[in-house]
A and B are shown apart, each in its own frame.
Chain A
């Protein structure tokens, strides 16, 4: 069935065609199958019956003929004249009678009388002077009490002649010699049928049968079918009781009628095939065509999206209804589409207006402008409605008080009443959705008010912090300088004991450390306040390498006591352009390198300049203590020095990395730190913006 689907389209048309075709064709098939299967058998049986009847007729004919001849001779023998046997038929009266009879019967035969001395006394055959040659057979027959015997060419029937003058006296015998050739009258040799009389005992065959078939005589007394023939075999009665008659009928001739009939049916079949195919195709097309038109119309509607198309109405009955319904459906669909489109358009418009309102609202800088803008916008959006703003708390029962505005109090974490936008004509509010719309605008206004307040507050706090820190630092620096210069003076004093000198050295280093911290904080504050001057210029790779080399030689002194080796590798293409601020980059590199030296007790620090994707990288890879991945993210927060480092008493404000990162941002660069874990070293990378030529 699956294969069937390949070459037979599963369409209504083909199904209908096949169904109609099948209905039209069934009788033909039935007749054909019947003719082939049952027809032949029936016709052969018929032929058999017909010929069996014929055979019986012929059998009866033969029997009658022989009986008739027997009667004839019996009659002749009873004639008075037969007494002439006594006088050897001198008067030829018997001869005359026999000849007359012979003439009357008109057969190939001979009548003669035989006297007791086996002499032929009288014969119907004039030239018959022959002597009687069948004495032995005659005697045998008499002994068997038969009244006949066979010669090679004839049947001899005989009857005794008694004297009518003396009934006890046997005068001789009257014979009829009936030639076998007479029997050929009972055989048939025509186009379709050959028959034969046959005696197996005497090996006599009269008539002929088809020679291309060997008769199986074991089928005696029955009929059977061979490949080409219908063969009937029937034994005879009476005198010829050990004889049989064989009929051979050509099958092709017997079945000629059937063949003709089948030919006729085939011809009809062929004609019918054409006619029925054409008719079934035509009918199915007629049935299916309107459906195809409907389908076509549907397809065109789908492809063109033209829902105003209507199916042409040219049919009657159910299909007409279908077309009407279809058209109605398309009209409905079209209407629905139009309504949807209109609604969509309105919604989109409203949405865009809303976005516009939001957009303008978030651009407002003050609370007053925010409220007035909101009221103006609402008024233009809903020209029929009236909006007003009041700062007094309204009667909450009123239906028009749906745009209550609240602001957040961040200190107490509460919402405080701010004001209300009153809707003048509440009865114009169409539905819940419009109400929600107003509420959402109110929410937006509230958000914007919060934001305005938050920004103002944050800015104030930030300003206060910066001012505080810069003032503090400045105020701290003056006494620290005094402490430093005093201690430095005291270190140079000769009369101090070792203990005293050690104490003063500690004081000096602590003061120095404090001063560094304060300087760092001031730097940071300056950066955040935007007071750092930035001067980004374009440099080439060679100039970058020179800068890095400068920084290395500046800090190499710090490594001398530790046994750390600093290397530099420049992988950049010569003439590669880089954007940077030389002064700030120098400070960043100093910070990063001093960090690297600080956290590396032995091993190496490798500088690598290379191109990473779309940027230029300066890697500073050390073999120092490293950082765990979780800690890395905290490093760039203000005042953070990872805990385990403080345990080892590394000195520093913890601001170095933060300052470096913030500085790098000033000229579109960045600082990134990575480590493969504690004890596995750290890589700091400065990412510089590449200038593409």
Chain B
């Protein structure tokens, strides 16, 4: 049976070159990067190389990259670490379309007495900049805005947001888990103070991520211990994993971005003639690999499982697929009514997908929608 993986926003298959780099590193650089002996020092040297290599990808000049166990840890570290060190600032600004890994940090802080402003987004998912400007107060700890949205793919204008934050003397954090290496990020020009990145969305290993921290910003560590990573993240450093992360940052280049953009556009165009369906998010400013579509009179979980039976892996924002029967908060934030969120499917293409696969997918999706609509009691 065919197997077409179109859920690269959930995770990617590790690239063979990354796999090789990791296996080699496990062989050669197994040492503890804190050890003083040669083997330890060699591991340390490779770690520093990887740090430098990844830092260049974000044009980091005045930022320190701290390696973590992934995006969730980086997001927790950024927000809780700041909160712990700035106890007089009890206000946080974020958006209504953040990832759960940071949204639940805010819920936690709200229980501790923090107030959180959730900025509205327009129907394409862009943050309202004038609302942001008005929301910043004297005791605002941080403004945090996701860069490339994991569900609808909208890419925010970090530069403008960062500018406003810095004019108002507030720190700016962004979660770039989905966008790192897929969309340009320039820590300096984009006015970013803290940036979350991770490896497994870009063909790297799971369990490896990082947080860029601008010099001068003090964070309280989440993990206390042996003082690894500049005393900010204790725990023996996963040098082979980080070497794999470093290698992974080379995989998506201009050519790959163009390839994925073409496949994404082929998919969107191919499905554009399905009646009562639409693209969620922005048409132009979106992640090169993300196509999020809604189909009326068909339910997302049913679409997903029919496609799965045909060998195509996708994901859905439908309420019926969640444990709480709640539809996706992102889809609600861009103004979809509940009944409009039901038939929402996210396709996220990868570097290995082909035009033929997309064509097969378009045909299969159309058949599936037709089949489900025939089942639907409503005539439309």
**Pairing of A with B:** no
